[in-house]
Amino acid sequence: MLPGLLLNKKLSKKLREFSFFYPGNINQKTGGYIYEKNILQYSRKKNIPIKFIELSNNYPNPKKIDLINLSKIINKIKLSNILIFDGLVLEGLHNSIQIFKKFKTIALIHHPLYLEFKGKKSSNFFDRAKKIYQHINYFIVTSKQTKKLLVKKFKIKTSNIMVVEPGIEKLKKYKKIKSNKIKLLTCGSIIERKNYAYLIKEIQNIDQIELHIIGDTLRETSYSKKIMKMLEVNNLTKKIILHGKISQSKLEKLYSNADYYISTSKYEGFGMSLANAFVSSLPIISFKTPTIQNTIDKSGVLFFNNFNKNTLKQIILKNCFDKKKYQLLKDNINKNNKYLTNKESAKLFIKALHNA
């Protein structure tokens, strides 16, 4: 290749512009939003031409008006732009395939949404993904397990997928406030996959327990309402505290004051909140999944493998009130487990965009 052509190729690659579509408020303190906000902040600091575009909370089930608004936005974007879609937005576009035919597209997949559901709903989302994914030029995923899944289930070429794990920074540590209660913490949008209904049922009759839930209530409003009603009907609003939008300092204080991090999620793309607990030396109770095992290892963790009545309750009763067992879990946390920093993760993400 002639030197001039090589230079022009490099320049054209550097000058590429991106439009990144995500649903809802990016300031939410849950995994996917933290990941994307980190990229937003890094790209602005480095003057990387990525325009972040907030869409409706209704995705992945957008209303007609949501799709009309998206179409209006996209019609104003130069055809030379590359479109990046968060997975929640992407899997709501099964009836808008024409978008992918006009532009080069990149998908950020934490995990395919069919994993969040059962039965017909799961099948519908699987069919959506199968239809949409074949039109996507490049995939960025947050774990090796998700990459394997895309290759195996959706026949995506490995060369079209790059793994970019989230950045995990150690949270600021605050002085722990003494309490006669065992304080549990969990983070994640109030959605059915997180299985909060099971968690509430398992702990509601355990004395001296206090659970703090940090999570967006707008993703699955019917499920959020169900959870809120459970708390009200069973007089649990003081025992189980739902936190809305919170500051970074409040997030750090909740981690600092927790005795255990607890997760009843049926599936995680990576498990950022659990990794945050890990680097904060917080013992963890979690449903056992391959992804979570790879993210946080096995040390300092109490795993359970079913959602039967009293399974989780018995783990809590046998372990959480025993100071020796608690200290043993803390001592066993593997301090050598390494994660990417926010900066390292964002740099890899930008590299993936330019490799697409």
Percent of the chain at pLDDT > 70 equals 95
Read off the pLDDT band of 291 (50, 70, 90): confident
Is the domain of 350 the same as that of 325?
no
- Does a structural domain hold residue 175? no
Indicate the range of 96-105, 258-267, 286-295, 308-317 predicted with least confidence.
286-295
What's the confidence (pLDDT) of residue 32?
A: 83
Residue span of the structural domain in which 81 resides: 9-167+341-355
Handedness of CA 92, 97, 98, 103 (dihedral sign): positive
Could you tell me which residues are beta bridge partners of residue 185? 212, 261
Handedness of CA 56, 82, 115, 195 (dihedral sign): negative
pLDDT at 53 over 50: yes
Distances (CA, A) of 24 to 60, 184, 212, 218, 325: 11, 27, 22, 8, 41
- The arithmetic mean of pLDDT across residues 84-91, rounded, is 97
What's the confidence (pLDDT) of residue 219?
A: 79
Buried-exposed string 235-268: b where 16+ CB fall within 10 A, e elsewhere: eeeebbebeeeeeeeebbbbbbbbbbbbbbbbbb
Is the domain of 195 the same as that of 158?
no
Overall domain count for the chain:
2
What pLDDT, in 10s, does the model give residues 195-229? 999 999 999 999 999 999 998 888 788 999 999 99
- Does a structural domain hold residue 196? yes
Is the domain of 200 the same as that of 152?
no
Q: What is the CATH number of the domain that holds 283?
A: 3.40.50.2000
- Does a structural domain hold residue 4? no
Is the domain of 23 the same as that of 119?
yes
Q: What mean pLDDT value characterizes the chain?
A: 91
Is the domain of 39 the same as that of 68?
yes
Residue 269, Cα to own-chain centre: how many angstroms? 7
Buried-exposed string 90-112: b where 16+ CB fall within 10 A, e elsewhere: bbbbbeeeebbeebbbbbbbbbb
User: 93 or 334: whose pLDDT is higher?
Assistant: 93
CA contacts within 13 A on the Cβ side of 119: 1
Contact present, 108 and 79 (Cβ < 8 Å): no
Read off the pLDDT band of 110 (50, 70, 90): very high
What pLDDT, in 10s, does the model give residues 126-145? 999 999 999 999 999 999 99
CA distance linking residue 302 with residue 350, whole number of Å: 36
